[in-house]
Chains A and B, each alone.
Chain A
Amino acid sequence: MDNIKPRVKVPKSASAGDIIQIKTLINHPMESGLRKGKDGNPIPRQIINKFTCEFNGKTVFSCDLEPAISANPYLEFSAKVTEPGTFKFIWMDDDGSVYETENKIAIK
């Protein structure tokens, strides 16, 4: 889909060993496939079905999303930071689109 903008909230820095909180939000209709359109035909399913958070190339957290996740999916989780580096966030759409964003974190 076009015009999808991921947003993430990650602290700019942390002490080594800190467990930080990460929040993500992405604009997406999460069309369930169970609704009817104005013409009476079902609207085809189109959702974000997978989300992954990596840190310096290793998976920290991921999840499989179903149509029961609300529009504009919000995800909050944590990560243990032991070194400076880059978080990479990846959302996968049913239509094959991949939305990505990155955030750097420093060690205090």
Chain B
Amino acid sequence: MNLTRRQMLRASVGVAAAGVFGFALPAAATPEATAESIKKFTGGADPVSGGNLTLTAPEIAENGNTVPVEIAVDSPMTDDDYVESVVIYAEGNPNPDVVVFHFTPMSGAAVAKTRMRLAKTQNVVAVAKTSTGQVFMDKKEVKVTIGGCGG
């Protein structure tokens, strides 16, 4: 067996596309559709990658139905300077939108955690917008595996 891990995953994903997920019907969104949504969210501003926004998601999800995802933004969260909102996109889902978190200075910290559905292996993208007009981005690839004989 000389398959590399990447080849294996790719092979698995091919089968998964016809799988049991809630998302089997329509065609997947594209990274372009996500880029379009990000532009709308930021009002055209180019997000700064790395640093202030951290997106945490598993490298490998055992089941695409329930994938934990967490965001944290380094921010003073004062009335003058706080994170207004953070949006999460799944580039390969039929609809890339996952969730928008809205924070206030009363949030104390710009952190949030939820569980999402991923139709296949894909990039998950988070974009944060602050009250001072800063825009941050972070991106993680999540590999979605499929089950045993039954999928």
Contacts and interface: CB of A to CB of B under 8 A. Distances in A.
When A and B assemble into the complex, do they touch directly, with CB atoms less than 8 Å apart?
Answer: yes
Contacts of A64: 99-100, 102
Contact of B99 (A35, A59, A63, A71): A63
B107 A77 contact: yes
Interface in A18-75: 19-20, 32, 34-36, 42, 55, 58-71, 73-75
Contacts of B94: 34
Interface of A: 19-20, 32, 34-36, 42, 55, 58-71, 73-80
Contacts of B90: 68
Most B CB within 10 A of own CB, among A63, A68, A79: A68
Contacts of A74: 113-115
Interface string B92-121: 011101111111111111011111111000
A32 B114 contact: no
A58 B106 CA distance: 9
Contacts, number: 108
Given A34-B26, A35-B22, A75 B113 contact: yes
Nearest to A77: B112
Contacts of A34: 22-26, 94
Contacts of B113: 74-77
A73 B14 CA distance: 28
A75 B115 CA distance: 8
B134 interface: no
Q: Which 10 A-B pairs have the closest CB atoms?
A: A80-B108, A19-B108, A76-B113, A70-B115, A32-B22, A68-B98, A66-B97, A64-B100, A60-B106, A62-B102
16 contacts: A19-B109, A32-B23, A34-B24, A34-B25, A59-B102, A64-B102, A69-B99, A69-B115, A69-B117, A70-B114, A70-B115, A78-B107, A78-B109, A79-B106, A79-B107, A80-B105
Contacts of A67: 22, 95, 117
Contact of B102 (A63, A66, A71): A63
Contact of B101 (A63, A71, A79): A63
A75 B103 CA distance: 13
Contact of B24 (A35, A61, A69): A35
Contact of B98 (A19, A61, A69, A77): A69
A36 B102 CA distance: 33
